């Protein structure tokens, strides 16, 4: 590396470890675009193109999936002590480095080394990131690491210690990535970069402030992704960043790189992106990755009004927030209009069938409102998908019975349910509440905060009694019955997503 290097002669290898099965990685597209505009020679290495198994979600279930879920959600006292070892085993097996990808990268470093490597990773990719850093160090190639979870100082510090990692960028790099790459390519120390959000072994910087002026975002560039490996052409898009509710105690989405604070893009910019990307990639199907697409009702209603104008015959799926204080754009008439506009599948956070638990979570909705939304969305012809949580601190036998009864009542109207075991995550409201007053969460004992993986090891004795476990088994059986159904017509294109 030398100071005479300029962007027109610098080569950037962007390794995408977020190996999605059905569509390109939006964050990568947002990095490739400004780098190419600045004149860099950019190449995207996708493990999917090398035969790596891709991440899939919520395809029609088999009995085996139900058995694995029973093990994962078991709260028998013996199983609670095995949760962490089993999780570690599963993570090691599922996220182990993909040898063909590593071999290709190793060959590339020896024969045609790039001037810099950019890594986009989830925290589960630690072994692969470690290997890439070590290999890059052998050739004196700087490595810039980023990803959605690098927003907690202790997590950033752990990853900054990896050999060969020049710096970890914490935040949204869309507007600064070209300047930062140019700085590192000329051999200047990362510590001398004047911008925010860059952390190194010797300096853990603050997280970069959330981006404003989203109207200046470039059009994501997905040209390097292996479109031939996707079963359908589905284009990811994001109308805004963050969540307008931003209160749920358990939520880690709102502390990720682009989830902090709510910001909308202009409606016309979103519509133009839909039109352009549909033509560019010969696609008519879109997945909106917004945490809650109805956070901005102007955008939500504008998409419903204009989607078919910009993408005739197009389809889309989205996640919304069901608000207990009003319809918030989700009344039956609006949902019917959305279906006519191409909305095919709609997701929301159900979390629990107990009003007491919803209140403890800070969900801002009611059981009755959730029920009405499910009924209205199903009647409008939409495929309805929800997420839910088992074992939230303070959940009682009566609470999980209410959840069981709710699922049973809406069994026919739900196409997919994605259950999750409660996770204690650094930076969330739960961590702050627990640290301040742990007695608020009876039965929960945090044993250790694992900052490398941004999670806590904990025990919840309140979920151990036999009566609770029996009802939980009934809940899991209902979920399996729902998830075993075929999706409604029109939504099958999006099976395995969200």
Q: Per-residue confidence at 473, pLDDT binned at 50, 70, 90?
A: very high
Q: How many other β-carbons are positioned within 10 Å of the β-carbon of residue 398?
A: 12
Given this model, what pLDDT does residue 402 score? 98
pLDDT in tens, 55-64: 555 556 888 8
Percent of the chain with pLDDT over 70: 95
Q: Per-residue confidence at 371, pLDDT binned at 50, 70, 90?
A: very high
Q: In whole angstroms, what is the distance from residue 139 CA to residue 446 CA?
A: 42
What is the pTM for the complete model shown?
0.93
Contact 276, 219 (CB under 8 A): yes
Given this model, what pLDDT does residue 4 score? 43
Mean pLDDT throughout 29-52? Answer: 90
Residue 2 has pLDDT above 50, yes or no: no
Q: Per-residue confidence at 21, pLDDT binned at 50, 70, 90?
A: low
Q: Per-residue confidence at 360, pLDDT binned at 50, 70, 90?
A: very high
pLDDT in tens, 264-282: 999 999 999 999 999 999 9
Given this model, what pLDDT does residue 56 score? 57
Mean pLDDT of the chain: 91
Which of 345, 343, 300, 347 shows the shortest CA–CA distance to 319? 347
Task: Return the structure tokens found at 158.
Answer: 């752990």
Q: Per-residue confidence at 203, pLDDT binned at 50, 70, 90?
A: confident
The better pLDDT of the pair 134, 65 is held by 134
Given this model, what pLDDT does residue 68 score? 87
Please report where in the chains the tokens 């010969």 appear, as a residue. 282
Contact 286, 234 (CB under 8 A): yes
Mean pLDDT throughout 243-259? Answer: 93
Given this model, what pLDDT does residue 5 score? 47
Please report where in the chains the tokens 């120390």 appear, as a residue. 189
Q: Per-residue confidence at 139, pLDDT binned at 50, 70, 90?
A: very high
Question: Residue 141 CA to chain centroid, in angstroms?
Answer: 29
Residue 299 has pLDDT above 90, yes or no: yes
Mean pLDDT throughout 319-331? Answer: 93
SS3 content of the chain, % helix, strand, coil (to 5): 45, 15, 40
Which ranges of 221-380 would DSSP assign to H, the alpha helix?
A: 267-280, 297-310, 332-340, 355-361, 367-379
Choice among 84-93, 181-190, 212-221 with the minimum mean pLDDT:
84-93
pLDDT in tens, 374-419: 999 999 999 999 999 999 999 999 999 999 999 999 999 999 999 9
Given this model, what pLDDT does residue 18 score? 79
Mean pLDDT throughout 472-492? Answer: 90
Q: Per-residue confidence at 3, pLDDT binned at 50, 70, 90?
A: very low
Helix 63-72 and helix 466-483: axis angle, to 10°?
150
Strand partners, 203: 200
Residue 472 has pLDDT above 50, yes or no: yes
Mean pLDDT throughout 226-236? Answer: 90
Q: Per-residue confidence at 80, pLDDT binned at 50, 70, 90?
A: confident
Q: Which domains are assigned to the chain?
A: 7-53+98-199 (3.40.50.2300), 63-90+232-494 (3.80.30.20)
pLDDT in tens, 415-460: 999 999 999 999 999 999 999 999 889 889 998 899 998 999 888 9
Q: In whole angstroms, what is the distance from residue 134 CA to residue 165 CA?
A: 8
Percent of the chain with pLDDT over 90: 72
């Amino acid at each position: 590396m030398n100071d005479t290097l300029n962007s027109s002669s610098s080569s950037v290898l962007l390794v995408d470890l977020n190996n999605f099965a059905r569509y390109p990685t939006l964050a990568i597209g947002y990095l490739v675009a400004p780098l190419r505009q600045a004149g860099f020679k950019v190449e995207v290495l996708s493990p999917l193109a090398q035969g790596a198994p891709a991440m899939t979600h919520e395809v029609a279930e088999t009995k085996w999936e139900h058995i694995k879920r029973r093990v994962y959600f078991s709260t028998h006292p013996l199983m609670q002590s095995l949760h962490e070892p089993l999780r570690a085993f599963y993570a090691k097996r599922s996220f182990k480095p993909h040898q063909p990808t590593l071999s290709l990268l190793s060959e590339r470093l020896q024969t045609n080394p790039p001037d810099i490597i950019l890594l986009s990773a989830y925290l589960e990719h630690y072994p692969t990131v470690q290997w890439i850093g070590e290999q890059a160090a052998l050739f004196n190639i700087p490595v810039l690491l980023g990803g959605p979870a690098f927003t907690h100082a202790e997590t950033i510090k752990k990853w900054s210690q990896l050999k060969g990692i020049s710096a970890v960028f914490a935040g949204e790099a869309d507007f600064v990535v070209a300047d930062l790459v140019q700085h590192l390519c000329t051999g200047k120390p990362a510590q001398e970069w004047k911008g925010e959000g860059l952390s190194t072994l010797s300096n853990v910087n603050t997280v970069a402030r959330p981006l404003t002026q989203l109207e200046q975002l470039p059009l994501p560039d997905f040209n390097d992704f292996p479109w031939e490996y996707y079963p359908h052409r589905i284009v990811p898009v994001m109308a805004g960043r963050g969540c307008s509710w931003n209160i749920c105690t358990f939520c880690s989405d709102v502390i990720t790189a682009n989830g902090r604070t709510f910001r909308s893009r202009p409606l016309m910019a979103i519509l133009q992106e839909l039109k352009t990307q549909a033509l560019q990639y010969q696609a008519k199907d879109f997945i909106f990755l917004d945490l809650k697409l109805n956070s901005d009702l102007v955008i939500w209603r504008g998409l419903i009004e204009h989607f078919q104008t910009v993408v005739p015959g197009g389809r889309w799926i989205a996640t919304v927030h069901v608000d207990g204080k009003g319809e918030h754009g989700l009344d039956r008439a609006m949902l019917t209009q959305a279906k006519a506009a191409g909305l095919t599948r709609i997701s929301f956070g159900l979390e629990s069938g107990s009003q007491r638990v919803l209140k403890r979570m800070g969900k801002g909705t009611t059981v009755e409102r959730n029920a009405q939304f499910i009924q209205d969305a199903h009647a409008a012809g939409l495929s309805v998908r929800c997420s839910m949580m088992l074992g939230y601190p303070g959940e009682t036998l009566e609470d999980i019975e209410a959840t069981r009864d709710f699922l049973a009542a809406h069994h026919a109207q739900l196409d997919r349910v994605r259950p999750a075991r409660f996770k204690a995550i650094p930076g969330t409201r739960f961590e702050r509440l627990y640290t301040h007053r742990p007695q608020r969460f009876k039965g929960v004992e945090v044993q250790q905060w694992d900052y490398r993986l941004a999670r806590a090891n904990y025990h919840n004795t309140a979920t151990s009694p036999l009566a609770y476990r029996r009802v939980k088994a009934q809940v899991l059986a209902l979920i399996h019955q729902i998830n075993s159904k075929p999706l409604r017509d029109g939504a099958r294109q999006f099976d395995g997503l969200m």
